[in-house]
Structure 1
Amino acid sequence: MSDKTMPLTDLPRHVESGMTVGIGGWGSRRKPMAAVRELVRSDVTDLTVVTLGGPDVGLLCAAGKVRKLVYGFVSLDSIPLDPHFRAARESGRIETSEYDEGMFVTALRAGANRLSFLPTRAGLESDVLTMNPELRTVASPYADEEYVAVPGLRMDVSLVHLNRADAAGNGQYLGPDPYFDDLFAMASEKTLVSAEKVVPTPELGAGGPAQSLLLSRMFVSGVIEAPNGAHFTSCEPDYGRDEAFQRHYATAARDPESWQRFTRTFLTGDEASYLAAVEEFHASHEEQAS
C-alpha cells in the first residue's frame, strides 16, 4: 500500500481558488480545524464550501475565503450561531444554498453515488423551496407522489478529521457518531484526512470494531497527522469541546478590535504556534481563577 502521509503545510497545494470544498464533522464536533486554519493562512480564496457547519465556516468567512456556502446549518452547538457566519449571511457577503438537513444528506448521497439528483420528501411545501428557487420537484413513476429532486453535491476536495488513520488512508472514528464523513469522501474528487494519530494498519482493527473503519484508502488522497487537529471542536473520546476557548472565540468574533487581537494571537503563526497560544490562554485563565 502506498504511503499518503503529508505535512499539514502541504494542504494548500491541493486546494485552488475557486474550488468546491467539502468539510466533514458536524457543528462544533470533529471538525478538521487544523486543516481549516491552514487554509486561513493560505492565499486560497473564492471557495464554495459544503458543510454541516460550525467554526470552520466562521473562520473561513472571517478570512474572506468563501464565495458561496452550501449548508444544512451552521452552529457552535453550545452557542447557537457562529458570529462570523451570521455577519456574512446578514450582510449578503456570501452566496448561500440553505437546505433542510435531510435534503443536505440526500444531496451528499447523490454525489457519492455519482447521480445528478435523488428524490426526497424532505423540504416539500416548505420555505426551503422558496429560498432555493433552482430546486425542482419530480413525479414518481410508480405512484401518485411528488418529491423534491435534490441535486447531487460533488466536491473538488473534502477535508475530514478522524481519530486514527493509517499511512495508506484508511480512517477510523472512535466517538459516538460517524457523521457523514464517508459521504464527503465518496462525493469528492480528492479527500484529505487529518487524524489525531497515524498508526500501523493492524492497530486500526485492534482499536475498535469493524464499523469504526469509516474511510477506505481508495477514497483518500492524503493523510495528515494532526494531534488536537479538531480543536476547539470535540474529538471524542480523545477530547471534548474546549468550551472556554469557544466562548473566547465567539466573544472576540462579535467585535472587530477583539477579533484583530484574536487573529494576532492565534492565527498568524503556524499550527504549533496556535496550540502553544491555546495552552497559554488556559494557563492565564487558571491563574485568574485562582
Structure 2
Amino acid sequence: MAEFLSLHDAVARYVTDGATVAMEGFTHLIPFAAGHEVIRQKKRDLTLIRMTPDLIYDQMIGAGCASKLIFSWGGNPGVGSLHRLRDAVEKGWPHQIEILEHSHAAMANAFEAGASGLPLAVLRGYIGSDLPKVNDQIKFIECPFTGERLAAVPAIRPDVSIVHAQKADRNGNVLVKGIIGVQKEAVLAATHSIVTVEEIVDELDVHANACVIPGWVISAVVEAPAGAKPSYTHGYYSRSNKFYKDWDAIARDREAFTAWLDEHVFAAGQDNGDTA
C-alpha cells in the first residue's frame, strides 16, 4: 500500500547505489523533480531505463549517477543530441557509461512482460535490423505453433520505477491522464515504485480514457507540484520550449553544465529545472 513520503525520504529509501531505475513519462509527466533529488543525494552506479531518455537523464548522467543506460531513443526533442550522454559514451566524462539500445516496440513489450511477471517478451521485430549485432539481449526463437521466427528480449523488472502524474487520492490511488506511455507498466513491473503528483485530493474524479494506478501497487506517493517541469503536465502547465532550446548550449560545455547543476539542482532544493 502506498505510503505518503517527502521526495527526499522516498528517494533515500528506494533508490540505492547500484539500483536499476526506470523513470517513465512520454512527452509530458517526465519526473524531473525526482531526478533532481537523485542527483542531490549523489546516487551512484545506477542502471537507468527509459524508452526516450531526454534532458533529465542527460542531467543525471552528467552528474555521475549512471553506469548504464537501457533505452530506445535518446535526444533533446526537437533540438538535437544529449551532449552529457555523448560526452560520457564517447569521452568517459564524468565516467564511462554502458549503453544498451532497443526499439520502442521491444521496450514497450519488455515493460508489459515485466508487469505480467513473465521472464521475456516476444515480438515481431528486429528482422533485418543491425541492433542484434550490438545488443546481445536480442534473441530469436521459433514459435512452437506456427514455426514463425520471432524476436525475444528480457522482461524489464526495475528495482524501482519513478513516474509523475496529475493526482493521488488519500488512499494512494493515482490518476494519469493525457498522453499515456508505459507509466502503469513501469510501476507494475518494479519491485518498488515512487509516484510524484501535482496534488493530493479527496476524490480523483476519474473519467473515460484515464488511467488509474491503484495504491496497493505503489510504494510511495510524493506531492510535488510542478514536478514535471520543464516538461508539461496535462491540465496544469505547459512545456517550456525555451528551456529545451537553452539546454543545448548548457549541456555542450562541461563547465556550463556543472555551474547550472550547482545553481539549479544542488543549491535550489527541489527546483523544477525550468530556470533557463
Matched residue SS, 1:105: helix
Task: Please tell me the residue identity of whatever aligns with 2:146.
Answer: A
Partner of 1:77: 77
> RMSD of the TM alignment (CA)?
1.8
Hey, what's the Cα distance between the residues in 1 that align with 2:54 and 2:207?
A: 28
Deviations 1:198-225 (A, max 9, x none): 111x2x1x2x414413311121010101
Hey, what's the Cα distance between the residues in 1 that align with 2:2 and 2:104?
A: 36
Q: How many residues align?
A: 271
Task: Please tell me the residue identity of whatever aligns with 2:181.
Answer: Y
Asked whether the 8 Å contact 1:169–1:193 carries over to 2, the reply is no
1:35-114 to structure 2, matched below 5 A, reads 35-52=34-51, 53-91=53-91, 93-114=96-117
Asked whether the 8 Å contact 1:171–1:217 carries over to 2, the reply is yes
Instruction: Point out the structure with max Rg over C-alpha.
Output: 1
Q: Which has the higher contact order (CA 8 A, sep 6+)?
A: 2
Unaligned runs of 5+ in 1: 282-290
Unaligned runs of 5+ in 2: none
Matched residue SS, 2:126: coil
Hey, what's the Cα distance between the residues in 2 that align with 1:85 and 1:167?
A: 38
Asked whether the 8 Å contact 1:161–1:229 carries over to 2, the reply is yes
Task: Please tell me the residue identity of whatever aligns with 2:104.
Answer: E
Task: Give 1 or 2: higher helix fraction.
Answer: 1
Task: Confirm whether residue 260 of structure 1 aligns to residue 258 of structure 2.
Answer: yes
Which range moved further: 125-134 or 14-23?
Answer: 125-134
Partner of 2:28: 29
Task: Confirm whether residue 190 of structure 1 aligns to residue 192 of structure 2.
Answer: yes
When residues 258 and 43 of structure 1 are mapped into structure 2, their CA distance, relative to the original with a 3 A threshold, is closer
1:71-220 to structure 2, matched below 5 A, reads 71-91=71-91, 93-175=96-178, 177-200=179-202, 202=203, 204=204, 206=205, 208-220=206-218
- The TM-score with structure 1 as length reference comes to 0.88
Asked whether the 8 Å contact 1:25–1:32 carries over to 2, the reply is yes
- The TM-score with structure 2 as length reference comes to 0.92
Task: Please tell me the residue identity of whatever aligns with 2:102.
Answer: Y
Hey, what's the Cα distance between the residues in 1 that align with 2:144 and 2:274?
A: 57
Hey, what's the Cα distance between the residues in 1 that align with 2:258 and 2:223?
A: 29
Which range moved further: 97-106 or 210-219?
Answer: 210-219
Hey, what's the Cα distance between the residues in 1 that align with 2:173 and 2:81?
A: 33
Asked whether the 8 Å contact 1:12–1:38 carries over to 2, the reply is no
